[in-house]
Amino acid sequence: MKIFENKIVTLIVLPVITLVIGSLIYDWVKEVPLFTLIADVVKTIWYGLIWFLNIELRLWWVIIFLMMLSFIIYLIIKMGKTDMKNAFPYRNYTSDMINGIYWTWKWNLTPDEVTLTNLKANCPRDKTPLIEANLYARHSHECPRCGSLYYDVDSNKVGVIIADNANKGIYTKNDLI
């Protein structure tokens, strides 16, 4: 409703006020001979304004205008995304060999922060995801493909190391393919 009311103000009330004030100024100006030139200028501007407000819009003008507007908005959004990518140089650092295990993960990008997700320990021989081994040793894992056993596979520790590597820029360029 507010928008509708504002439209009424814009479409009806403002032009009426402008018309009344414009007429008063015109009447005052035309009675003073010295102001004939100014009166002509005001008249010209006034008729120009009326002419401008009476332009018949062609549909294709509107379509072209909307297309240009969409293109400009698209460019602005694209530039914003490029900035975010530049501020996130380790986006392709998603795998690393740490303490004899091949780790893979993803970066979750939100407007506020970047978080490490989907961290997985993989067998360094065949890159198969490891499963927890039924052993008494803490954090022991085994490869379901080749049966190799690995000890001290601690994703909490490794997550901290990966985040630290990313913050310090410690990762080989080979990872950034």
State the nearest-atom distance from the C-beta of 158 to Zn ion, in Å. Answer: 18
**Distance between CA atoms of residues 17 and 170, nearest Å:** 68
The conformation of residue 145, written as its DSSP 8-state character, comes to: T
**120, β-bridge pairs:** 104
Amino acid at residue number 173: K
| CA–CA dist 81, 109 (Å, integer) | 11
Q: Is 131 in the site for Zn ion (CB under 5 A)?
A: no
Distance of alpha carbon 114 from alpha carbon 133, whole angstroms:
31
Contact between 149 and Zn ion per CB under 5 A: no
126 binds Zn ion (CB under 5 A): yes
Cβ 89 to Zn ion shortest distance, Å = 32
CA distance 24 to 67: 42
Q: Which of 145, 160, 164, 170 binds Zn ion (CB under 5 A)?
A: 145
Q: Which is nearer to Zn ion, 96 or 142 (CB)?
A: 142
C-beta closer to Zn ion: residue 126 or 152: 126
Segment holding 142, helix H or strand E: strand 141-142
How many residues belong to the site for Zn ion (CB under 5 A)? 6
> What is the per-residue binding string for Zn ion in 85-124, x denoting contact by CB under 5 A?
--------------------------------------x-
Question: Can you give the binding site for Zn ion, defined by CB under 5 A?
Answer: 123, 125-126, 143, 145-146
